[in-house]
Structure 1
Amino acid sequence: MSVNIDSRVVAPGSDDFVDQAWQLKEEINRQEGVLKQRHDFFTDAYRRSKVHCYVREGDLIGFAAVRRDGYILFLAVDPEFRSEGVGKRLVAHVADDHDTITCHARTSNENALQFYEHLGFEIKRRIDGYYEDGGDAYYLKLGADVGIADRISDLIRR
């Protein structure tokens, strides 16, 4: 990863980077048709989460908003930086704090599903009509039973 990309942590209750996170999420939504949350839902969940961020020259290029139980509410990486390992490193930060990581991903979001499966997440179940727009989701889990710390460390070294 480029040396001019900084890692930051936004504590629960903070608005730091919330507007940039919303803009990044909306850009990905326009390009890929995913991350379709409403503004109020997104900003409320962001503010209640610990958010791991990667920033380049003051611009947010990726973030993971995580609940206290290790559930990733939002994970987004600017498409220009997806080959830089930003997403892997975001998940690695989450793994530093949790023995188990879970999330939902749209069944139609091939990029996200491939990414999570590459990291070792397992699809635990399908939930029809999970999203507000009626979209279906998979519930994914990466946990101690699959060697989360070792798996993430191996991926970061590649």
Structure 2
Amino acid sequence: MSVNIDSRVVTPGSDDFVDDAWDLKEEINRREGVLKQRRDFFTDAYRRSTVHCYLQNGDLIGFAAVRRDGYILFLAVDPTHQGEGIGKNLVARVADDHDTVTCHARTTNENALQFYEHLGFEIRRRIDNYYEDGGDAYYLKLGADTGITDRISELMRR
């Protein structure tokens, strides 16, 4: 990761970077057809989460919104910065705070599934009609039973 990237943590109840996070999520939605949440749902969930943010020159380039149980509600990285380790570092930051990390991913989102599987997440179950638009999801888990600490340490050394 570049040395001119700053990290910030937005605590629950704060609107810091919410508009920037929405814009980034929408850019990814336009490009890839994923992250299809409604704005009111997104904003409400964002405000209830701890949000790990990465900024470059004051611009939001990645974020992970996480519930207090380690469930990642949203993970997004600016497409121009994908492949730089930002997503991996965001997951590592979440893993530092939680014994297990979980999330859902669309069954059709090959990029997300490959990313999570590379980090050591395991598909635990499929949920049909999970998303508002009728899309199916996989429930993924990274935790003590999958060697989260060792796996994240290994990833951070790469």
TM-score, normalization by structure 1: 0.99
CA shift, 1:56, in A, is 0.3
2:111 is matched with 111
Moved over 2 A (4+): none
Which AA in structure 2 matches 1:2?
S
Report the counterpart of residue 53 of structure 2 in structure 1: 53
State the secondary structure of the residue aligned to 2:83: helix
**Percent of paired sites with the same residue:** 85
Give 5+ residue unaligned stretches, structure 1.
Answer: none
Cα deviation for residue 74 of structure 1 reads: 0.2
2:84 corresponding residue in structure 1: 84
Report the 3-state secondary structure (helix = DSSP H, G, I; strand = E; otherwise coil) of the residue aligned with 1:68: coil
In 1, the alpha carbon distance for the partners of 2:81 and 2:16 equals 21
Equivalents in 1 of 2:43, 2:153: separation in Å?
Answer: 31
Whole-Å Cα distance in 2 between the matches of residues 142 and 17 of structure 1? 27
Shift of 1:49: 0.1
CA displacement, residues 46-84 of structure 1 (integer Å, 9 cap, x when unaligned): 000000000000100000000000000000001111111
Give the Cα separation in 2 of the matches to 1:146 and 1:130.
Answer: 25
Which residue of structure 2 aligns with residue 64 of structure 1? 64
What is the alpha-carbon distance in structure 1 between the residues aligned to residue 18 and residue 149 of structure 2? 28
Asked if residue 3 in structure 1 is aligned to residue 7 in structure 2, the reply is no
Map 1:1-150; keep pairs closer than 5 Å: 1-150=1-150
* Matched residue count: 158
User: Structure 2, unaligned stretches of length 5 or more?
Assistant: none
Shift of 1:149: 1.2
